């Protein structure tokens, strides 16, 4: 069965060319969709969950060590629906593009949606289901619709780990899980 999945992944992604793919990336789920992949850049150790839906028309740049849970949507374009030269309703044929930037060691929860033009700062955490329409500062934890900051990560501890030679979770502790009560 595993060989069949590998063959299907090869067939699906053989013509998909990203602008850049760093080492240690995992993104080739059969249920994911990458539009305008040639404008999507992945840093090192980027993990993208199944069912991802990325529209790279305006550009998407993802930093190192980013983990994106299943079914996350990233848009880098939208329809022109409210300009002085609007030619049709509810929108016209003009597409408005804006680059999405996700900095190093960001964690994006399941079914979050990132809108065009957003920059997500280093070490930020995006809660599952969040709709991110504005920039997120470094170390911020955001949740909700629209996404709002609920707290910040410990900057000192984050920076200490960030300076290590290999801080990425799957390289450091592999996929071992240890459960602790909150």
Mean pLDDT, contiguous 10-residue spans, the chain (182 residues): 85 92 94 97 98 98 98 96 92 95 98 98 98 98 98 96 90 80 86
Omega cis (within 30) before 27:
no
Residues with active-site annotation: 79
Per-residue confidence (pLDDT) for residue 133, from 0 to 100: 98
| Structure confidence at residue 1 (pLDDT) | 62
Those residues whose C-beta lies under 8 Å from the C-beta of residue 43, and which sit 6 or more positions away, are 22, 62, 63, 64, 65, 66, 104
- Residue 64 is part of which domain span? 49-80+88-165
Within 8 A by CB and 6+ apart from 19, the residues are: 37, 38, 39, 40, 41
Domain count across the chain: 1
Whole-number pLDDT of residue 173:
80
Q: Does 125 reside within a domain? A: yes
Residue 122 pLDDT = 98
pTM: 0.93
Q: What's 125's domain CATH number?
A: 2.160.10.10
């Amino acid at each position: 069965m595993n060989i069949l999945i590998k063959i299907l992944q090869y067939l699906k992604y053989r013509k998909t060319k990203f602008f850049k793919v760093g080492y240690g990336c995992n993104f080739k789920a059969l249920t994911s969709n990458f539009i305008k992949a040639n404008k999507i850049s992945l840093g090192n150790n980027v993990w993208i969950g199944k069912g991802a839906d990325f529209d790279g028309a305006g550009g998407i740049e993802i930093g190192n060590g980013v983990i994106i849970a299943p079914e996350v949507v990233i848009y880098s374009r939208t329809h022109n629906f409210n300009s002085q030269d609007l030619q049709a309703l509810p929108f016209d044929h003009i597409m408005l593009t804006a680059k999405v930037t996700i900095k190093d060691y960001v964690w994006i929860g399941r079914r979050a949606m990132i809108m065009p033009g957003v920059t997500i700062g280093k070490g930020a955490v995006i809660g599952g289901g969040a709709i991110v329409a504005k920039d997120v500062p470094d170390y911020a934890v955001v949740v909700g619709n629209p996404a709002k900051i609920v707290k910040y990560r410990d900057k000192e501890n984050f920076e200490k780990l960030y300076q290590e030679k290999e801080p990425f979770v799957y390289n450091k502790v592999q996929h071992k899980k240890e459960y602790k009560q909150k």
